[in-house]
Structure 1
Amino acid sequence: MTDDLDEFGEINVVPLVDVMLVLLTIVLTTATFVVNGKIPVDLAKSSTASQNVPTPLVLTLTADGKLYLNDKAIMSLKTALQGLDKSSTIAIRADGKIALEHFVSLSDDLKNLGFNNVVLEVKRQ
């Protein structure tokens, strides 16, 4: 009878440690996606960029020319921005490797649609 009690006298913590390490891995991976954003864009660098500019709308232009509004792929800029407040600030996250012509064309399209508060998001050096 005493052998049965000794068998359950110790707690095995190895499974607990395994579960905690898996949870830690999930949290760290998720935190990386939250900080970096979902769409990989290599932003241009600037030494005079201001930090923490609040922008409710983010327009992302990737190196392959795809356009996203707040991390959702869009086909038509006009359709995606239809019904939004024209005084909203729109931040353009353009890949640093795209041709300047694509960025200028996108900012012109935004101005033609009536959005005058357009900023460029860059990475601070």
Structure 2
Amino acid sequence: MGVTKEVLRAGDGTNFPTSGNNLVMHYVGTLASNGQKFDSSIDKGRPFRFKIGVGKVIRGWDEGVMTMSLGEKAILHISSDFGYGARGVQGYIPANADLDFEVELLEINP
């Protein structure tokens, strides 16, 4: 399956991240099977900052987020092979779990 995107709010339609950009995003991660939340930048009180396209995040994020434009809010539906796969994340994400991330692209920086 990989990753599919469900747009909740359109972005500017002009500015898209490219590999190596530093991004600032808000996210809420849930298990697709039951909606159980396992992580949230909003709950932490600060957005998530990372470099896209260089393997710093799961493959579903690297591929899905690069289809988003600045200001866009979407849900990324990520199959386990594009997430944490057979290893999962002990105590948080079971092995072979499909994931849903509600994400919002706040900033794109070189």
Computing the radius of gyration over CA atoms, which structure comes out larger, 1 or 2?
1
What's the TM-score once normalised by structure 1's chain length?
A: 0.22
Normalized per residue, the structure richer in strand is 2
Normalized per residue, the structure richer in helix is 1
Larger relative contact order (Cα-Cα within 8 Å, sequence gap ≥ 6): 2
